[in-house]
Amino acid sequence: MEPTGQIIVALDFDDRRAADELVDLLGEECRSYKVGLELLTASGPGLIRDLVAEGKDVFLDLKLFEIPNSVAGAVRAAGSLGVSMVTVHSMGGPGIMAAAVAAARPFPRLRVLALTVVTSMTTSDLADIGVTGLTSTEDQVLRLARLAEAAGCHGVVASPQEAGPLRAVLGAGALIVTPGVALPGETPGEHIRSGTPHGAVAGGASHVVVGRSVTRAADPAAAFRLVRADLER
């Protein structure tokens, strides 16, 4: 995939105006945006419809974790909005993942991604919620990725550190979307399991999700180009 197509910019804002301003600043250079729970709750689905109408790909990061019928309904709603990717939480089990995949079938462009382990979690955090016997967080990521593959998901969301092992398990066709990405020398914020754009894609990621490196930069367009340059080296 061409580098620009691998970059998803996270619109992690609490109001639509800030999101619109960033999209305008990036213009034609950025093709894909992530909309998460904060912005969706604050501004509603109108922003998503407008981004799709402008020809942008939208990664709707809902992290769905509900009974299968509710998950299916949310996926159908996402498909009706025209989004390209939607997330379901793999720790909900095969039932909700399979329901999400089935609900996405009438929407040919919609891909269902299974969130494995959020990038802020460690092996100790997993033990606190009863997931024990792991030698590393990677064990749980790979276990959940296999469940997601068996349920028919199109790919997974995981940290850059697991991109390589995931590619080996899931093969060439799976989507591997990696948040927790920052430019070399930058702090990754709350992302404990982090990496650079180049490191993530070299390891096997199909896409990188970039947040503060671009959205909080003095010149977001220049920062976006730095991310692209890091992917190209």
> What pLDDT is recorded for position 186?
83
- Cβ-contact 126, 151 below 8 angstroms: no
Q: Find the CATH number of the domain harbouring 150.
A: 3.20.20.70
Catalytic residue among 63, 89, 191, 228: 63
Is 63 a catalytic site residue?
yes
> What pLDDT is recorded for position 66?
97
Domain that holds residue 155: 3-232
CA distance 10 to 130: 31
> At residue 180, what is the residue type?
G
| One-letter-per-residue 3-state SS of the chain | CCHHHHEEEECCCCCHHHHHHHHHHHHHHCCEEEEEHHHHHHHCCHHHHHHHHCCCEEEEEEEECCCHHHHHHHHHHHHHHCCCEEEEEHHHCHHHHHHHHHHHCCCCCCEEEEECCCCCCCHHHHHHCCCCCCCCHHHHHHHHHHHHHHHCCCEEECCHHHHHHHHHHHCCCCEEEEEEECCCCCCCCCCCCCECHHHHHHHCCCEEEECHHHHCCCCHHHHHHHHHHHHHC
CA distance 135 to 221: 41
**pLDDT digits 0-9 by tens, 77-90:** 999 999 999 999 99
* Model pTM score: 0.95
pLDDT at 9 over 80: yes
> What pLDDT is recorded for position 160?
96
pLDDT at 223 over 90: yes
**pLDDT digits 0-9 by tens, 37-61:** 999 999 999 999 999 999 999 999 9
Q: What share of the chain has pLDDT > 90, as a percent? A: 92
Structurally, the chain folds into a number of domains equal to 1
Rounded average pLDDT over 96-115:
98
**pLDDT digits 0-9 by tens, 131-182:** 999 889 999 999 999 999 999 999 999 999 999 999 999 999 999 999 999 9
Rounded average pLDDT over 26-33:
97
CB atoms within 10 A of CB 102: 16
